[in-house]
Every structure is written in structure tokens, then in C-alpha cells.
Amino acid sequence: MSIMNTTLLIVVGVVLVAAIRVGPYFAPSTPGPAPSPPATTPTTTTTYKPTTTTPPATTSTPQPTTTTTTPAGEEISVNAATSYVDLLTNFTHAKVVYTSINGTTGETEKYYFEITVYGGETVNGQAAVKVVMEFYGEGEEPENFTIWFTTDYSHVIKVVLPDGTEVTAPLADQLANSLLRSLNMYIAVGSQAQMNFYITTESVEALKAGWQVTYYAPEPITISGHTYSGYHIIVRNVNDQASDTAEVDIKIVELHPKYWYLVYMKGTMKNGDVFIIEVTELTLA
């Protein structure tokens, strides 16, 4: 795959959420403040309580219950990194698979993204952290970008392109920032505010008109041999005419105490196209 194709793939990573047009649930904007919990004054809201049943098939959907009370349980706030430093200091390795399925032809395309962080490196006598990023399509050889940071991540020392070209300051900082935006989009897609959910350990509420939570349950999720506490949530577009998305299926895991991340997202479009982002390998720092 050429550097031009790699650049296009990076763009896919950066704008992926917008490209699949999952409407209000995964906007690629800068994370904003988490939404305030519903008002304490009783209001009519649509919530879905955890269940232990198998996720619904497309033709059979559990019906949410209507309640006049605020969703119970401890609030779960899904983290969205404000910078790549947050991610690089929490993970030493991650692999993400992006899958697109054409709803008409069934044609499937897969793209892979991997990142590995190495400490204890030295560049020109300077202590450094090396970050290796790999991008590749199904059946293709990976193309590697290598970034050397100062140990406090305050400065990019250099970036090495797949063809061996070295890029130094000031362009190195700009290039590294562009590359690592894809990391944020892949591994930390969005905050609770971006997803328009109010999530607790007992229930979940869709805060956007026209969307309905159809499934919500605790679910242990295993990545790289480690099982995390998690939740599985499915929301369906019931009356949002502005969105081209029919359904969104997500899974979140607790990587650290009260530190939740989105590790799976499946968007099904109204035309039948399907897009999936899944973290398949993960090693915590």
C-alpha cells in the first residue's frame, strides 16, 4: 500500500465517525463536558434496565420500559481522551479492526491499525519514548510510522515514514499530531456527551429525540486474554429522519476503576451498509 493510500487510511481514522454518519452518537468533535443527570423532579423518560438475555436479533427487539423516575444506579462516564498523551500513558499496545460491509453486495473490506509504545529508548543521547503505528488493509503488508517523543511527551523528536524518511521539528510535531488523531478516534471514540447517553450501572437512557435504547446488559468482555467488566448497549433510530443510521451497537469496558472506554461499535445504516470498529488486542501500561 502506498504512502498516499496510508494517508487516506489515516483520514478514514480521523473522520470515520462522521463518515459512517451515526448521527448524534459518535460525533468527531472535541469532547465536551459530560451531560448533567436528569432533573430530580420526576419526568417521563425512556430507560432500559439491564437484562441477562441474549442480545436481540434484528427481527426481535425487547421493548423498553417507561418510567417516571430518574434512572437509578451509579453513573458511568465513558472517557474521551483530551490528548493522545492520555492514551499513550494508558496503553502500551492496541490493535483495532475496522470493517465495512456493503449492504447490497455483501462485499467486505477490513483495515487494521496497531500501535505499540516502547520506553527506555535513546535518540541522539536523549531519553525518548518510541511509538510505532501500523496501518494496513486485508492481505497487505503493514506500513509503519515511528514517532520518538521526549519522555514527558512535550516534544516530538522525530518521525520516520514508511520509506525511511526522517521528519524533524517543526514538521514532526504537526505530522505526529495528525497521525495520533486516528488513535484517539479508534480507541476513545467519544465521551458520554458525544454518545448522547445517560448511563448508570442500573439503566441507560437515550437523551436524543428519535432514538430508543433496545438492549442494555452487563457483559464481561475479553481482550488479549484479560476479561474486563463491561456493558453492551444497542440503540435504534425510531424517528430521527435526519440520521442515515438505523441502529448502533456498542460495548464499553472498565479498563481501570471508574475508567470506562468504548471498545466496540457497530453502525447499521438505513441502506443496509454496516461499519464496525473493534479493539481486538489491548495491553495496559
pLDDT-derived band at 89 (thresholds 50, 70, 90) equals confident
What is the reported pTM? 0.71
Q: What percent of the chain has pLDDT over 70?
A: 65
Both 86 and 173 in one domain: the answer is yes
At residue 162, does pLDDT exceed 60?
yes
Q: Quick: pLDDT tens for 41-64.
A: 333 334 455 444 445 444 444 444
| 198/167 same-domain check | no
CA–CA gap between residue 248 and residue 262 (Å, rounded): 13
Q: Which of 187, 219, 243 delimits the end of a domain?
A: 187
In this structure, the answer to whether residues 7 and 94 fall within a common structural domain is yes
Number of domains in the chain: 2
Residue 285 belongs to some domain of the structure: no
Which of 133, 160, 187 terminates a domain? The answer is 187
Highest mean pLDDT among 29-38, 40-49, 108-117: 108-117
Among the three residues 159, 187, 215, which one is the final residue of a domain in this structure?
A: 187
| 266 and 219 both lie in a single domain | yes
Q: What is the pLDDT of residue 191?
A: 42
Examine residue 280 and state whether it is found in any structural domain, yes or no. no
Residue 176 in domain? yes
Rounded to a whole number of angstroms, the distance between the first and last alpha carbons of the chain is: 31
pLDDT band of 78, cuts 50, 70, 90: low
Report whether pLDDT(275) > 90: yes
Instruction: Examine the domain organization and report whether 208 and 144 are in the same domain.
Output: no
